[in-house]
Structure 1
Amino acid sequence: MTGPVLVGRAALECSSVVANNTMNRERGLAGVNSYARELGLDPLAWLSDRRPGARSWLDLCSGEGRALRQAAPALPADAVLTGVDLVGPLLPLPTPPALEEITASVSTWAPTRPYDLITCVHGLHYVGDQLGLLTRAASWLTEEGLLMAHFDPESIRRPDGGPAGRAVLAALRAAGFAYDARRHLLTLRGARSTTLPFTYLGADPTAGPNYTGQPAVGSHYSRTVTDTAG
C-alpha cells in the first residue's frame, strides 16, 4: 500500500488549502475572535510589562495584521512589531510606524533581529515543514522571549501516512517546548538552537479537516537515524 502523494513548498503554497486560507485574516487583539482568546495570553499586556527596549513582537501567518495594528498605538515608541504572511494584507490601510508588514513565505523568510514575543495563531496548519519552522523560530527569540504556536500533532505523519504525532511531541518536549493539549498550543521560553530527529519529506494538501474543522495540511517526516557506533 502506497502513501499519499506529497508536494513541495511551491506547489503547496499554490494549493487551494493554503492560498485561499482565511483562518487568521480577521482575528483581532482582544474579544471573541482574538489572539488573547486563542493564546490564553493578551499580547498587548504581555509586551507592556516588558522593560524598555524589550517590546518586540513577530507574528507569523499574520493575515490582515489586525492584532498588530491594534497593539501598535498602545505600545511605547520603542516597540517593534512585524507581521509575515504569504498573501499579506489585502486591505490598503496606512501602516503604523512601529509595524512592518512582510509578504513572504514563513518557510523561507528569516528575521534580522531577535524578538521578545513570537506568535503563530493557527498558521502551522498550512505550513509544510512545521518542525523546521518551529526550530528556526526558536532561534529567533530573545533570551527571555516567548514563542506561542498552535500545533496539531495529528497533522504529523510518517512516510506511509501513519501517525507520528506522539513521537514528535516527545521530541519537542525534550527540546524544551511545552504543549497544552486543550488549546493545541506549543510554547517555548528563551532562545535556543534546536535539532529534532526528523527529516521532512513533503506535504499532503488533501489531508482534510483538522481539529478546527477547516481543511489543513499533512506534514510527512521520516525518523532520522543517528549512527552511535564508535
Structure 2
Amino acid sequence: MPKPPLVSASELERSSVVANNTMNRERGLAGVNSYARELGFDPVARLAAGPAAPSWLDLCSGEGRALREAAAVLAADAVLTAVDLVGPLFPVPAPPNLEEIVGSVCSWAPSRTYDLITCVHGLHYVGDQLGLLARAASWLAPGGRLAAHFDPESVRWADGSAAGRVVVPALRAAGFRYSARHHRLTLDGGRRVRLPFRYLGADPAAGPNYTGQPAVGSHYTPV
C-alpha cells in the first residue's frame, strides 16, 4: 500500500476539503437538522438540569446557530463559547452570554472548564483528532459531558492501513464510550487522557466518509 502524502495542520486548514466544508453551518438546536438529533440528547435540557450558570463549548461550530438559539433560552449568566475555523459568514452581534471565536480548534485552548463540550461532525476535518479529544477531556467540568462524532475509518497508521480496531479500544480504556451505530463518542467527567499514539500528519485526499462528504485521514504511530 503506497504511503499517502501527509500535510501539516496549517496546510490542512488551507485545503479545499476543510476550508469549503459545510457540514455544520446551518444546524440549529432542534428539528430534523439539529444538534438534538445528531447528539441523541437535548443540549439545552441537559444544561438547564445541571448547575447554575451552565457552560457549553461547541467546537467546529459553523455559523454558531445552535449556541445563538441556546443563548436566547438559557439563563443570562450561562457561558457559551463557539469555536470555528471560519465562523459566521454573515456575522451579527452575538448575545452577551455567547463568545464566538474564529480560529483553529487544534491550537485554541480555553481558560476554564465546561459542563458540555460538543463537536458535531467537526472531527472529520481535524488532522489530530485524537489529540483534540484528549485535550477536550481536560476541559470538562467534573460532571460535564463531551460528545463528538468520530469515524474509526479515518484513523490510519503511517502506511495508510486502518488503525480503528486499535484506536477505539484505547479510547474506551480512557473512559470514552463509542456508539458505532451513531458514530458518536461520549465522555462523562473531566480528566487527563493519554492515548498511546503519536500524530504523524493528515491526508486531505482521504475521500468521502460515512456522511458521504469528503473528509480528512488522520495518521498515527503507536507509542
- TM-score, normalised by the number of residues in structure 1: 0.96
Q: What whole-Å deviation, never above 9, does each CA across 1:47-87 have from its counterpart, x for those lacking one?
A: 1111213x100000000000000010100122000000001
Unmatched segments (≥5 aa) in structure 2: none
Q: Counterparts of 2:177 and 2:35 in 1: how far apart (Å)?
A: 19
* Other-structure match for 1:111: 110
Deviation for aligned residue 1:2: 3.1
Looking at structure 2, the residues matched to 196 and 95 of structure 1 have their Cα atoms a distance apart, in angstroms, of: 36
Q: Distance in 2 between matches of 1:86 and 1:28?
A: 18
Q: Which residue of 2 aligns with 1:146?
A: 145
Provide the C-alpha distance between the structure 1 equivalents of 2:51 and 2:109, rounded to a whole number of angstroms. 25
1:119-198 map, 5 Å: 119-198=118-197
Q: CA deviation at 1:89?
A: 0.7
State the structure with more CA Rg.
1
Instruction: Give the Cα–Cα distance (whole angstroms) in 1 for the partners of residues 175 and 50 of structure 2.
Output: 22
Distance 1:17 1:2 in 2: 21
Residue aligning to 2:2: 2
1:11-59 CA-to-partner distances (Å, cap 9, x unmatched) read: 0000000011110011000000000000011111111111213x10000
1:92 positional shift = 2.3
Residues paired across the two proteins, number? 223
Quote the Cα distance in structure 1 between the aligned partners of 2:207 and 2:197. 23
After TM superposition, give the deviation of residue 167 of structure 1 in Å: 0.3
RMSD, aligned CA: 0.7
**Matches of 1:51 and 1:6, distance apart in 2:** 43
Unpaired segments ≥5 residues, structure 1 = 225-230
Question: Which range moved further: 134-143 or 86-95?
Answer: 86-95
Mapped partners of 2:2, 2:76: distance in 1: 56
Distance across 1 between alignment mates of 2:208 and 2:133: 22
What fraction of aligned residue pairs are identical, expressed as a percent?
A: 73
2:68 and 2:40 map into 1 onto residues whose CA distance is: 19
Partners in 1 of 2:121 and 2:184 — Cα distance? 9
SS at the partner of 2:124?
helix
Alpha-carbon displacement from aligned partner over 1:95-153 (angstroms, at most 9, x marks no partner): 10110000010000000000000000000000000000000000000000000000000
Q: CA offset at residue 94 of structure 1?
A: 2.1
